[in-house]
Structure 1
């Protein structure tokens, strides 16, 4: 297998045109390749600057999870720190987790940040929503978002050998009308659901939760809804203190 390490977008596009397979951190594909055979050409974006950015409003697709720190919003940082073991976090990448993994631990956090994806194609680079990225399996160059007022993330304890642990992420954004927009995303099993609601400054938490319960999140089972309630209550309390 020939591994290419492009250092520019144009070089990466040339690799894609030649049929190079993106490998990310290879945590998800290595066992399959050992079983079914390795591709002739592979490509890693670990040396591509555009895929390695870390900041308050951007995160590169080639960033390994253990590099994600307090430069990014809390929801993303906590999501990354909760993925697998330390060994996994030292090799798994943002793009591999969101696009390649069935668990997609970072996805709820990205959704509550209202992140947009910058994707790399052999003949173009463009921005799109995460739904398109997941549906078409695009090569993720980076995520971009507007910094929220506050955000949070929680993964409940799971059972060994059981379904994936329940995850809830939440973020507060300044709404165009001067109010606040609450966005909540959950992972329940392998399904990810995101909803939002807007409220005026001074609204009490129970009123906001009532609005949120009128969305599809209101159909969650009791344990899941209680986790959502606790996360939203804590987030609103923390934001009110600042």
Structure 2
């Protein structure tokens, strides 16, 4: 297998045009390739500057999970720190978790940040909704988001090899009209659900509004966790 390491967008585009398969951190695909056979070519973005950015509104797809630090919102930082073991976090990438993983621990945080992805095909880079990224699995360069006022993340304890643990991500954003909006995303089993409602001063009203979104169909235990996490993030937004 030839591993290609582009250093520019034009070179990365040529790799895709030549049929190179995205490899990410190889934590997910290596075992599959050992079982099913290796591709002729793979492409890694670890030397591409655009895929290694980390700042208050951008996270590159080639960034290793252990490199996700205080430069990004709390919800993303805590999510990255909860994934796998230290050894996994020193190898796995942001793009591999969102695009290649079935667990996608970073997807709920990205949703509550109202993030969009920059992806690339043979014609070059373009912006895409996260739903498209999950469905089509393109080569992802980065995610970009609106900076929230506050955010929070909860991941239930889980066992290795067991079912995906419950994940609840929350964020409160300022709106252009002076109001605020609460975004909440939940991974329950293999499904990710989200809801967006006005973040008024009345926490009970906010929680009632969330019941009218897709989150209203969650089982009781998950809804209890959502209520707790939403109350916490609203309280910190008002502090």
TM-score range, shorter chain: over 0.9
Task: Answer yes or no: is 1:185 the counterpart of 2:185.
Answer: yes
Aligned to 1:109: 109
Query: Counterparts of 1:224-235 in structure 2 under 5 Å?
Result: 224-235=222-233
Give the alignment of 1:196-211 within 5 angstroms.
196-200=196-200, 203-211=201-209
Structure 1 stretch displaced more, 209-218 or 185-194: 209-218
Structure 2 residues not aligned, in runs of 5+: none
Q: Distance in 1 between matches of 2:208 and 2:41?
A: 53
Partner of 2:31: 31
Residue 163 of structure 1, CA deviation:
1.4
In 2: Cα distance, 1:180 partner to 1:133 partner: 27
Q: Which stretch shifts more, 173-182 or 222-231?
A: 173-182
Give 3-state SS (helix, strand or coil) of 2:205's partner.
Answer: helix
Q: How does 1:47-126 map to 2 (within 5 A)?
A: 47-126=47-126
Change (3 A) 1:93 1:161: closer
Distance change >3 Å, CA 7–CA 228, structure 1 → 2: same
2:212 aligns with 214
Structure 1 runs of 4+ off > 2 angstroms? Answer: 158-162
Task: Note the C-alpha offset of 1:162.
Answer: 3.1
TM-score (norm 2): 0.97
Structure-2 separation of matches of 1:70 and 1:13: 32
Q: The residue matched to 2:216 in structure 1 has which SS?
A: helix
Question: Comparing 150-159 with 182-191, which one deviates more in the overlay?
Answer: 150-159
The structural deviation recorded for 1:161 is 4.4
Identify the residue that residue 41 of structure 1 maps to in structure 2: 41
1:238 corresponds to:
236
Q: Do 1:175 and 1:198's aligned partners in 2 also have CA atoms closer than 8 Å?
A: no
Q: How big is the alpha-carbon RMSD for the aligned residues of Structure 1 and Structure 2?
A: 1.1
Question: Is this contact kept in 1: 2:172–2:199, CA < 8 A?
Answer: no
Q: CA deviation at 1:212?
A: 1.1
Q: Distance in 1 between matches of 2:15 and 2:109?
A: 31
Aligned residue pair count: 239
Contact 2:153 2:167 in 1 (8 A): yes
When normalised by structure 1's length, the TM-score is 0.96
C-alpha deviation, 1:160, in angstroms? 5.2
Question: How many angstroms does 1:236 deviate by?
Answer: 1.0
SS of the residue 1:186 aligns to? strand
Residues 156-189 of structure 1, C-alpha deviations (whole Å, 9 max, x = no match): 1124543110000000011232211000000000
Once the two structures are overlaid, the 10-residue window that deviates more, 34-43 or 79-88, is: 34-43
Distance 1:113 1:121 in 2: 25
What are structure 1's unaligned runs of at least 5 residues?
A: none
